[in-house]
Structure 1
Amino acid sequence: MQNIQALREKIANLANQAKHLLAEKGDQTWSKEDQAKFDGFANEIESATAQIKAIEKMRDIDADKFFENAAPSGKSLSNDTIDAVAAVALYLRHGNNVTAEQAIAIRNAMSTTTPAEGGYTVPSEIAAMVVDAMKAFGGMREVSQIISTAGGNALNYPTSDGTSEVGEIVAENAAATGADITFGTVAVNPYKYSSKKIALPVELIQDSAIDVVAFVVNRLATRLARITNQHYTTGTGSSQPFGVMGRASVGKTGTTGQTLTVTYDDLIDLIHSVNSAYRGRGARFMLRDTSVAVIRKLKDSAGRPIWNPGDNESISGGTPSTICGYPYTVNDDVAAMAANARSIAFGDFSQFVIRDVAGSTSLRRFDDSAFALNGQVGFCGWTRTGSNLLDTAAVKVYVNSAT
């Protein structure tokens, strides 16, 4: 089935050629060839117009069937009962080629924003699908503290390190001395992320056997997840969020010769570089999979492996594996072991905050000629998020030796 946008562009091109022929001949008498040429343009325009009407009629039939199947049992598909996911599916499949009633339903489910700022803001059900898909990549969203703010204005998050603060013994009738708490602030500002445009065949999008919402959302969310996890991990804070590996202080530097490896003693030193108060609050390791492979080969002083397999290394699933008794998160955005590489992190990752701007997840369908001429439909997704480590004492990193 030919794309409507391509047919409209064909009609416009034929009309321009016909107008050019009329202007070129002016008052001259037309030859049979001239008349045949003009009639050819007119016939092709008429044929393309009829084809557009036929496609629009079939799309209306398909859309009506989709709406009927998506409607709750026993309810009419009125504007106030339509399911939000069904409305998004209709928009993804057909764009603006829908009936007036369906267009109203789409607008009710998806709040319109300025196209240059991101198309349609998706309903909460779709936004949740994006977040769930993003959790599956990298690991940062699994272990961090997630906060959601109504707006995207700059946010300075209050911090305070009380690990060195102690009380005192006070004699009878004696006054307590003062020890003010020192507060700091950490910027957790959001950045606007794009999935970049993706092109999908129009036949695939319009195929009723395809769960178009899950298909498109997962594709867009996967791209957003990969770039955001990279920045949550190694972001510099300059035109991008702060990443945990850059913000965390160094807990242990590898001994000379440990450019591609780590020793058991260095891991123990890294663990104990983090205050025991943080170690007792769900501390864990974070490293890439190739570094896990290195550690799995290490033995303690008694010759016992320091990596202990849990049920998740077998077919049963369940108990997580541990390194030196602590769980770990595999994050392949952490640097591989190399000279001066920050290759392992350890600590309380709940002190790392990921900030999402509520209502910022949006998507847009593109039907312009860049896609239409190839029989494709374009999609792009956006979201706003940022991150920072609130307490640099909560997480420490291991740095491989320089030589």
Structure 2
Amino acid sequence: MPEINAAPETKAQMPSGGSPTGEVALAFGDFMHAFEGFREANDERLRQLERRMSADVLSEEKVERLNQAVDAQERRLEQLVLKQMRPALGGGGEMAAARPSEHRQAFEAYVRGGDEGRLRRMEAKAMSGLAGTDGGFLVPEETETEIGRRLAAISPIRSIATVRTVSSSLLKKPFAVSGAQTGWVGETAARPETAAPQLAELSFPTMELYAMPAATNALLDDAAVDIDRWLGEEVEQAFAAQESAAFVVGDGVSKPKGFMTYDTVDETAWIWGKVGTVPTGADGAFLAGGAADSLIDLVYALKAGYRQNASFVMNRRSQAAVRKLKDADGNYLWQPPASAGARATLMGFPMVEAEDMPDIAVDANAIAFGDFARFYLIVDRQGVRVLRDPYSAKPYVLFYTTKRVGGGIQDFDAAKFLAFAA
């Protein structure tokens, strides 16, 4: 299967022109060492299974312990790489070299001391609503851009989905139900009239997501503290955690609709509006001796045009299970990243961890595979708004920070789920 063995392009590479720091390189070495230990222990477990149809309890425990060690080393490596990849927010580089914009200067005066005058004058001058209906002001454009870049780096689904920025609260996207009618004709033959395509519409409303970091007056008075950077770091983790959950399991009520909450149907009876599933053949597990076959069936349930940029999405516990699997030739299906900052691969396709994916269980759709750029659409409404509140939690100053985000499936044929069912 040459397509499966092809080396994929990954989306989480190290910054261009940079090299791993000593700490990152050391962490990558520790991760690879842990994986080698796990592989040796798992090989011994599999040999025991072949010899006597069961593995020694101590061997099982050792494999699980080493599997957890691989997970821990992988998390440490990801954190170090993310720290290195994270763009500096207002603290250096081109942004620092450039003169701060008028909006940014006015915003800093508002955050540090509550001076609203300059922002309100800008609002009146521009004839645009910088203030929301419930108060607050938009952060400067450069700050909003960097917050978006930070979220893309740490939010697993955002890193592979299509992200579209809109200025309204609702995005409506038309799609062809049956496709345009076409045909072949001769050079001088009459051109028969084609039927008009049947169009339907998908709607993606944006919902309000908020974070409320707190600061002391001493921090705000400290001129050495970069307020833009502080605010970005405070809200990015809160936003990323809430977004990640909503994009996977959100119910669409005051939050985006997650791709796992749509109706599913067996792939043999797939119709538009539902996500196709491929069964493993065993309830709550891979079919004994047929785990690789289940994954191959999942891969080839996807059309070739979608497979080119496809990724596996699962949580860490599911990844721990597939890490033990081998193909018929004795090769591990899961492979560690080729370098620090790259993704691990499963059958040659990138692995994306999303902790909100379901665990392997009876009838659970625990593994998704598809071209998520075509499968899932994330809608960001322009503007991150901050409301300064020095009263509610004295002596602390609260910053009620909001952004509007929506999401939903835009192409129901671009991904499939692996159902752990007979």
Q: TM bucket by the smaller chain?
A: 0.5 to 0.7
Distance change >3 Å, CA 387–CA 164, structure 1 → 2 = same
1:232 and 2:267 aligned? no
Q: How many residues align?
A: 311
Pick the aligned partner of 1:356 from 373, 380, 384. Answer: 380
The corresponding residue for 2:174 is 158
Q: Is the 8 A contact 2:283 2:363 kept in 1?
A: no
Note if 1:379 corresponds to 2:399: yes
Task: Please report how far the alpha carbon of residue 226 of structure 1 lies from its aligned counterpart in structure 2 after TM superposition.
Answer: 1.6
Question: SS in structure 2 opposite 1:142?
Answer: coil
Q: Deviations over 1:340-377 (max 9, x none)?
A: 32221111111221111123x10111111x322xx211
Counterpart amino acid of residue 284 in structure 1: S
Partner of 1:34: none
* Greater mean deviation of Cα atoms: 179-188 or 211-220: 179-188
Kindly state the Cα deviation for residue 386 of structure 1 after the two structures are TM-superposed. 0.7
1:95 to 102, 114, 129: 114
- Indicate if the aligned counterparts of 2:286 and 2:294 stay in contact, CA closer than 8 A: no
Q: Aligned in 2, Cα 1:274/1:170: closer, same or farther, shift over 3 Å? A: farther
Q: What is the rounded CA distance, in whole Å, between the counterparts of 2:132 and 2:147 in structure 1?
A: 20
Out of 236, 255, 262, the residue aligned to residue 221 of structure 1 is: 236
- Correspondence 1:273 to 2:292: no
SS in structure 1 opposite 2:367?
Answer: strand
SS in 2 for 1:345: strand
CA distance in 2 between counterparts of 1:273 and 1:74 reads 51
Calculate the TM-score normalised by the size of structure 1. 0.67
Change (3 A) 1:117 1:106: closer
Structure 1 residue 180: deviation in Å?
5.3
**Worse-matched range after superposition: 325-334 or 252-261:** 252-261
Select the structure of larger CA radius of gyration: 1
Deviations 1:45-70 (A, max 9, x none): xxxxxxxxxxxxxxxxxxxxxxxxxx
Q: Give the TM-score taking structure 2 as reference length.
A: 0.64
Distance 2:113 2:148 in 1: 25
Q: CA deviation at 1:378?
A: 0.9
Please tell me whether residue 186 in structure 1 is matched to residue 214 in structure 2. no
**Cα distance in 2 for residues equivalent to 1:164 and 1:74:** 50
Q: How does 1:3-402 map to 2 (within 5 A)?
A: 83-96=102-115, 103-104=117-118, 108=122, 113-114=130-131, 117-152=134-169, 154-160=170-176, 173=189, 178=194, 181-195=197-211, 197-247=212-262, 249-259=275-285, 263-280=291-308, 282-312=309-339, 317=340, 319-351=342-374, 352-359=376-383, 361-368=384-391, 370-372=392-394, 375-401=395-421
Q: Secondary structure at the match of 1:117?
A: coil
Most deviating of 231-240 and 264-273 = 231-240
Aligned equivalents of 1:135, 1:338: Cα separation in 2 = 30
**Bigger CA drift: 254-263 or 302-311?**
254-263
Identity among equivalent pairs (%): 24
Amino acid at match of 2:159: E
Cα shift readout 1:241-273 (whole Å, capped 9, x = no counterpart): 222223361321232243489922211111111
SS at 2:355 equivalent? coil
Q: Which residue of 1 is the match for residue 64 of structure 2?
A: none
Q: After TM superposition, give the deviation of residue 299 of structure 1 in Å.
A: 0.4
Q: Which runs of 5 or more structure 2 residues have no equivalent in the other structure?
A: 1-95, 263-273
Determine if contact 1:285/1:345 at 8 Å carries over to the other structure. yes
Q: Measure, in 2, the Cα distance between the counterparts of 1:269 and 1:242.
A: 27
SS of match in other structure, 1:159: strand
Which AA in structure 2 matches 1:225? A
Cα distance in structure 2, aligned partners of 1:170 and 1:343: 51
- Aligned equivalents of 2:421 and 2:260: distance in 1? 16
8 Å contact from structure 2 (residues 316, 353) kept in 1: yes
Q: Structure 1 345/168 Cα, relative in aligned 2: closer, same or farther at 3 Å?
A: farther
Distance of 2:143 and 2:130 partners within structure 1 = 16
Q: Which runs of 5+ in 1 are unaligned?
A: 1-71, 76-80
2-structure distance, mates of 1:188, 1:320:
30
**Mapped contact 2:131–2:138 kept (Cα < 8 A):** no
Contact 1:235 1:246 in 2 (8 A): yes
Alpha-carbon contact 1:118-1:381 (below 8 Å) kept: no
